Amino acid sequence: MSIGTRFTSADLERLPAVDGIRYEIIDGDLFVSKQPHAHHTWASDGAVEVLRIWNRESGLGFVVSTPGLVFSDDNDVVPDAVWMSRARYAQSLDAAGHFTLAPELVVEVLSPGSENQRRDRVLKMALYARQGAEEYWIIDWQREVVEVYRRVGDELALAATLTGADVLTTPLLPDFALPVASLWVPTV
């Protein structure tokens, strides 16, 4: 849900800490999200697991779940996961433990609802593009689709739409492979 007043990171500090509620600010608009669906968490954990295994073997950077990305007072977001190179990580972490630079890779798992979809597909994608992210994955557990966006000039452009037995690979992460079907909750 977006609210008309212009919010800042300082306003987030004054909001009540409520279990299962996430606050984010994009261009001064406040977005409030509820605890995600179990299938959302399954997909997010699956992507993080494969990223961490790859990263442990490569040693090229850091994988962080639900990090705080504070680009400015009016752009304070929490993606589901990020991968950041060692060099960028060292320059980005502030004293409060938030990242002030865009990670090379940002991962968002869609939550149900048109406002959540608009936030992740439009507003966050534009923010990550402006901040310099190289790649953006949108994982849609409801449709069992992964969209991969890669930097083209100043924008993030759709590079691949993956489903079924497809395997996500990326030039950003050498020898990385994520079987898309592993992100979905198995049928019981």
What mean pLDDT is reported for the chain? 93
Q: What is the reported pLDDT for 35?
A: 79
Give me the residues paired with residue 80 across strands: none
Q: What percent of the chain lies above the pLDDT cut of 90? A: 75
Q: What is the reported pLDDT for 71?
A: 96
What global pTM score does this model have? 0.91
pLDDT for 22 beyond 60: yes
Cα–Cα dist 46/178, whole Å: 9
Q: What is the pLDDT of residues 102-131, one digit of tens each?
A: 999 999 999 988 999 999 999 999 999 999
- Contacts (Cβ under 8 Å, ≥6 apart) of 91: 101
What does the pLDDT average to over 163-181?
98
- Containing 78, the helix (H) or strand (E) segment is none
What does the pLDDT average to over 159-169?
98
Confidence of residue 12 (pLDDT cuts 50, 70, 90): confident
Q: Which domains does the chain have, with CATH numbers?
A: 37-183 (3.90.1570.10)
Q: What is the pLDDT of residues 61-102, one digit of tens each?
A: 999 999 999 999 999 999 999 999 999 998 999 999 999 999
Q: Among 22-31, 55-64, 126-135, whose mean pLDDT is lowest? A: 22-31
What does the pLDDT average to over 10-34?
83
pLDDT for 2 beyond 80: no
Q: What is the reported pLDDT for 4?
A: 54
Burial class (CB in 10 A: 0-12, 13-18, 19+), 112: exposed
Cα–Cα dist 140/147, whole Å: 8
Q: What is the reported pLDDT for 158?
A: 98
